[in-house]
Structure formats: structure tokens, C-alpha cells
Amino acid sequence: MKRRAFCRDVSLGMAGLAWTGWTQRLRAQSLDTARELTADLVIIGGGFGGVAAALAACRAGLQVILTEETDWLGGQVSSQAVPPDEHPWIESHGCTRSYRTFRDGVRAYYREHFPLTAAARANPRLNPGNGWVSRLCHEPRVARAVLEQMLAPYLAAGQLRVLLECVPTAAQHEGDRVQAVTVRDLRSGRLITLNAPYFADATELGDLLPLTGTEFVTGAEARAETQEEHAPEKADPLDQQGITACFALDYLPGEDHTLARPAEYAFWRDYAPRMQPAYAGGPEGRLLAWAAPDPATLTPRGLICDPTEKAEGRNLWTYRRIADPGQFAPGTYRSAVTCVNWPQNDYWLGPLVGPGVTEAQRKQHEQRARQLSLSLVYWMQTEAPRPDGGTGWKGLRLRPDVVGSSDGLAKQVYIREARRIRAEFTVTENHVGTEARQRLTGQPEETVKAETFPDSVGVGAYRIDLHPSTSGRNYVDLSSLPFQIPLGALLPRRMENLLPAAKNLGVTHVTNGCYRLHPVEWNIGEAVGALVAFCRERKILPRQVRKEARQLADFQQRLRSQGFELEWPQTRPL
């Protein structure tokens, strides 16, 4: 009798595709009984940055092990159900070549596997959902399928091994180096030790940092430390952006899909945030209302939600809509499908990490975030005011199939802020904030630029977008400038062979607000994978690449040849 897989290796494809041969091959590959595995690079965390790091390292010929906590790769774009948050120039520039390959792959996937209308099929900039948050609103399971397709050649060659439903539990480290990381199979409870000369932390919360003794920071730094205008007077490691349990909904008029009343519904129906500055919500300042503060001005802002799509104005229903039936053959979708990541289901009643925060408390906050989202669905079905004067839409239906869960909520909560390394260089508001740069340089808005980093390994752009936080702070939403990603922000001050490959790089609580989005996280991860490959080839350490001009120039040329953009043309502030 064959023994069960130590950790379940990834199987390719999505519902409707028969990757039988791949699945059998990968299951057979995982039937070994080894309690140790070895690679050139071990990446813990299979989110967007982790996948990008694996692709870059495999492209350079390294042997790679990639682990993932859930059974879906992709993180925020798949298991967290967040369509890409991108900058205005994404269709032409401002990302890496491989990120563009992913975007092109999503569109190609729809053209190949979905019955699009002729007009939609011919549109080179197909937006499957026509959501207005992004130029590419699509189903999370499509993102998962495309990412797995991109990894497929390396899996076939045995160069990449993906261990799903595994979490890190311990690490062996001595001095400034990590020797091994132990992961636990969430299904069997078995442990396996992963050995490598290099490790990348691509977890959603920076989980490898405390396990390896790597210096890190959580929450908000003090203004005296960062010199940022929008940093608080006192450091608060428990001041972290809220999380969101996203979910997918469609709407079937005439049907009743009302949920059982959630356990915490009474609490969330009546919950009125107490924040500084005040939260300008609905009646009596309630969270569950069609009103919220404007993130930039904090003034009251009325919102529209209408799943019938008849109401005029910017409709929350279409904000993150991931399936627009009008772009598909009649009958493909019974209704539009939208992903709900709105002001009404941001959760901020407690941090997930930080001093004194236990695993039990983290899980409790994640569970309460899920209760908030279920309460939002129930409120929309039963009590929410409609534009026509009625209340509730009983036909609103959770779509577990879209997000791959049993309850219709995303597999993971959407995490905006993680532990961050104490880095050789930390990006602050003074490097990328529009007003800060104007004040420091004396340049007008028309010509001011973000700080130029000679050690750039990529670019990104997004407003400094901080959601309400666990300390009771309201939104902080600031104009920012298209920025670079400095290599120094990817280098821990002390550790030699552990690198951040997600949101855990050297940024502050403030600048995390613009370095945390999809194309930036991808670029961070891809740069880390390329850096490890370069260092293995040259037999040097990552910090030598930054310190030695010749090595840095060679590495940056290597990045450019692989489709990285290291600088921006003149662009306007965001």
C-alpha cells in the first residue's frame, strides 16, 4: 500500500480541466518517505511574491522548493480573492515582463476556455469583470490556473517542488545564517525539514522572521525614528492595517439565498467605529451602511450598492465585479459575480502579529473578520436599504465555488501589513510621498519625482493607502509618486541568506501602504529569486551585490535582460 504524501504537491489546472497525467505524476512524486528535502532555494509562502521568486530562480536553473499554507497558489490574487490593484500605466509599462506574462495569460485563459462574445474576444485589453477597481478583474481560480501553468515546465523537469497545505513551525539558524526550516503538513501533522543555502520568506505575515531570529518591526514606527509627517508621535507595534475576509457574490432575483443569521450579527449590525479622526459612517456612524469616510479627506461619503445595476453613479456592486455576463455567451453566467472587499467588511479590532499577540488571538481575529463578512452578507439580504426604497436582496448568493471554500469566504483573509525586516535601507514617506518630496526638493507637483535609488531592482506605483487600523486610527490616504524598489530594502541588516519576498521588505508602516500591492509584491519576489541565482553563480553574498559597484551593475543588467524595469519615465503623482 502506498503511503500518503508528506505534504500534498501541487496539482495543475482548475475545475473543468483534466490534468490527470500531471496530477498522477505529482502525487507519485510526493509518495517518498523522506523527512528531509534539499534545494538551492526554499521559499516559504506561495503567494504572489513566492510564485514570482520561484519562477525567477527556476528560470536561472536553480532547484527550488515552494511551500504554501493553503491548497491554492497566488495569495492575494487567488486564495484571498482580491483582483489586481494596479497603477494607471500598467498596460504599457511599470511592471516586470513576467508579471505582464501573467496578465496576458489571464486574458488568454478566458479566450481559450470561456465562451466570450465576439467583441470581448477581440478586445486586446479584455477585462472579464469590467470592474472599475482594475483593468483586469477576473476570477481568483483563473489566476490560480494561470500561475500553475507558468510553473508547469519546472514541475515537469523536477526542478521545482511545491508543497501545499504546509506551514513553517521551526528553523535552525546559527549566527547570521539559516540552515533549515521545518514545515508541518496541515492534514497529516507530519514534519519535514527543508535544507538550502538560501531561504525566502514570502509568507503573508513574515512568519520566518521570528523563527530565524531575523530582526523585524511590526506596526507603526515613531515619527522621530522615520522623520515621516504621517507617522505617529510614539511607536506602536500593534498599530496595523485592518484585514478583510473577502467573498464572491452573485444575485438571482426571485430566489431566496438568505443565510442563517451569523452568530455575531447583532454586534456587527450595531457596531459604530470609534476612531481618530471620527469615522463618518452611516446612521449613528455605523459600519454596516451605504456610507463611509472618503479615504483622502475623511469627510462623509455616500455609497451606492445595487446588484440590479440600475442605479446611477459609482456602484459598489461593479467595483470589484469579476464576471460581467454581457461579455460572455448567453447563459454562461446567471448573474454578474462580484468580489466584496469594501469599507463595510474591513476588520480592525485587533492585530494578527506583534508583542503579546498569541496564535489563538490571531485566529480569533481572523474568525471575527469572517463573522463581519457573513454579517455584511446577511445585512444586505435582509436589512440593507435599496435604491428603490425597499430593504434587502434575498437573491444575493455566496459563491463558494468561485473562491474554492465551503462557506463562500476566501480561503485566507486579505492581509495588508506584515512583519517587516530591519533592512539595510528603509523606504520612508520622504522618499515617495508627493507632498514630502515637494517640501524636501522645492519642486512643483508637475516635475517632482520620488527619490532615485541607484540600487533599484524594480518599480511600482500606488497611492499611500492605509486602511483603518487596529489602534483606532482612521484612513491615511496620501498622494505618492511612481517609485523604485531599492535592493537595500531586500537585505536584512544581519542575516546573510534569508530574504523577504513579499510585503515584509524594508518599508515603514506608512510606505507599506504603497509597496503592498500586486505588481510590486510580484516584482519584489521576482527580484529575490533572481538575486539568489546571481549570488549562487558568482559565489557571493547578497549584500556584496549592493556594496560592490561592478556586481551591482552586472546584476541590474541581468535584471533588465529578464524584463525588469528599473526606472520610471516622467509621470504624474497618484
Contact 469, 242 (CB under 8 A): yes
Write out the DSSP string of 431-493. Answer: HHBHHHHHHHH---TTT--PPP-TTEEEEE---EEE--BTTSB--EEE-B--EEEEGGGGSBS
CA 239 – CA 351 distance, rounded (Å): 7
For residue 415, pLDDT over 50 is answered with yes
CA 149 – CA 395 distance, rounded (Å): 36
The answer to whether position 195 is within a domain reads no
Phi-psi region of 313 (alpha: psi -120 to 50; beta: other; left: phi over 0): left
pTM value is 0.94
Contact 242, 472 (CB under 8 A): no
For residue 558, pLDDT over 60 is answered with yes
- Condensed to tens digits (0 to 9), the pLDDT of residues 64-121 reads 999 999 999 999 999 999 999 999 999 999 999 999 999 999 999 999 999 999 999 9
Please state, in angstroms and as integers, the Cα–Cα distance from residue 560 to each residue in 15, 86, 94, 101, 458, following that order.
37, 21, 13, 16, 9
Instruction: Please enumerate in sequence order all residues whose Cβ is within 8 A of that of 332, keeping only pairs 6 or more positions apart, or say none.
Output: 114, 115, 325
| Spacing of C-alpha 406 from chain mean position | 22
The answer to whether position 461 is within a domain reads no
* pLDDT of 34: 64
Element (H, E) at 368: helix 359-382
For residue 24, pLDDT over 60 is answered with no
* pLDDT of 14: 39
> Mean per-residue pLDDT for 393-410?
97
Q: How many domains, in total, are found in the chain? A: 1
Percent of the chain clearing pLDDT 70 (strictly above): 94
Q: Give the N- to C-terminal CA distance of the chain in Å, as an integer.
A: 60
Please, which pLDDT band fits residue 445 given cuts at 50, 70 and 90?
confident
The answer to whether position 120 is within a domain reads no
* pLDDT of 33: 58
Percent of the chain clearing pLDDT 90 (strictly above): 91
The answer to whether position 551 is within a domain reads no
Contact 84, 519 (CB under 8 A): yes
> Mean per-residue pLDDT for 228-234?
97
CA 7 – CA 30 distance, rounded (Å): 7
Indicate the range of 15-29, 124-138, 326-340, 532-546 predicted with least confidence: 15-29
- Condensed to tens digits (0 to 9), the pLDDT of residues 344-389 reads 999 999 999 999 999 999 999 999 999 999 999 999 999 999 999 9
For residue 463, pLDDT over 50 is answered with yes
The answer to whether position 181 is within a domain reads no
The answer to whether position 255 is within a domain reads yes
The answer to whether position 357 is within a domain reads yes
Mutual angle of helices 97-113 and 140-156, in 10-degree steps:
110
Please, which pLDDT band fits residue 574 given cuts at 50, 70 and 90?
confident
The answer to whether position 496 is within a domain reads no
Structural domain of 348: 243-403
How many CB atoms within 10 Å of residue 218? 26
* pLDDT of 19: 37
Q: What is the mean pLDDT of the chain?
A: 94
For residue 4, pLDDT over 80 is answered with no
Angle at 318 between CA 381 and CA 405, to 5 degrees: 60
Please state, in angstroms and as integers, the Cα–Cα distance from residue 502 to each residue in 133, 208, 278, following that order.
22, 12, 32
Better-scored residue on pLDDT, 567 or 25: 567
Cell 515546465 belongs to residue = 153
- Condensed to tens digits (0 to 9), the pLDDT of residues 25-49 reads 443 344 355 699 999 999 999 999 9
Amino acid at 302: G
* pLDDT of 26: 43
Indicate the range of 209-218, 236-245, 310-319 predicted with least confidence: 310-319
> Mean per-residue pLDDT for 412-425?
98
Please state, in angstroms and as integers, the Cα–Cα distance from residue 23 to each residue in 50, 152, 154, following that order.
22, 11, 15
CA 272 – CA 445 distance, rounded (Å): 38
CA 243 – CA 410 distance, rounded (Å): 12
Strand partners, 198: 41
* pLDDT of 570: 74
> Mean per-residue pLDDT for 211-233?
98
Q: Residue 558: name the closest of 159, 198, 59 by CA.
A: 59
R_g (Cα) of the chain, nearest Å: 23
- Condensed to tens digits (0 to 9), the pLDDT of residues 472-514 reads 999 999 999 999 999 999 999 999 999 999 999 999 999 999 9
Is the bond preceding 277 in cis, omega lying within 30 degrees of 0? yes
> Mean per-residue pLDDT for 229-248?
98
